[in-house]
Chain A
């Protein structure tokens, strides 16, 4: 049973436009959420995170939105650049205890020039 779901395996966007990557979770114990970016032949790189006490966190071109009631978060990239083409993983950590993250299966973003 997937507790963190990224329902879109792939997303194609034109350079300069907005990319929106979505993530849904089922476990209400998750209270810290992270996005990672992964290029081929490299390990994932931390991008941005958000705590459940917030509904938005922004870092340059990247913004993460959290809707706790819907158990949904999204990553917005504005403007999208060809170098953003990568696989994006959403991850969630539970409150207290282990802090072990649960990852989604990833969304492959392709930004066309």
Chain B
């Protein structure tokens, strides 16, 4: 079974640009969550989608948005990029949402550098 895939793996953008990152969950998984990891920080939750609906949203500005498609694939978009948006963006999928015992499987991440 293929794991979670994220594209692209690396990205360089300049301030003010916008970026779209993609995540394909494990087959059969309907929940997709996004996290931001910056140097010295733990993973910070961005948002969670389940069956094309946003279930939860973290404490990030409105420049960060996402969506999920009917095949469970998800995209996140960051508009008007700032230097502080440079980070590793991780996607995680699970079969269900809102269940503690449900294991999240992470993709390798997209490393975004904003110049």
Contacts and interface: CB of A to CB of B under 8 A. Distances in A.
Contacts of A89: 42-43
B107 interface: yes
A101 B45 contact: yes
Interface size class of A (residues with CB under 8 A): 20 to 34
A104 B43 CA distance: 7
B106 interface: yes
A101 B99 CA distance: 11
A85 interface: no
A99 B43 contact: no
Contact of B42 (A41, A42, A106): A106
A100 B105 contact: no
B99 A45 contact: no
A4 interface: yes
A100 B99 CA distance: 10
A105 B41 contact: yes
A32 interface: yes
B62 interface: no
Given A105-B40, A105-B42, A100 B4 contact: no
A113 interface: no
Contact of B44 (A31, A45, A103, A106): A103
A42 B108 CA distance: 4
9 contacts: A42-B108, A44-B90, A44-B106, A46-B103, A49-B101, A98-B56, A100-B58, A105-B41, A105-B42
Interface of A: 4, 6, 31-32, 36, 41-46, 49, 51, 89, 91, 93, 98-106
Counting from the closest, the 4 A-B pairs by CB-CB distance are: A43-B106, A103-B42, A32-B100, A103-B43
Given A43-B90, A98-B56, A100-B56, 8 more contacts: A43-B4, A43-B92, A43-B107, A49-B100, A101-B45, A102-B42, A102-B45, A103-B44
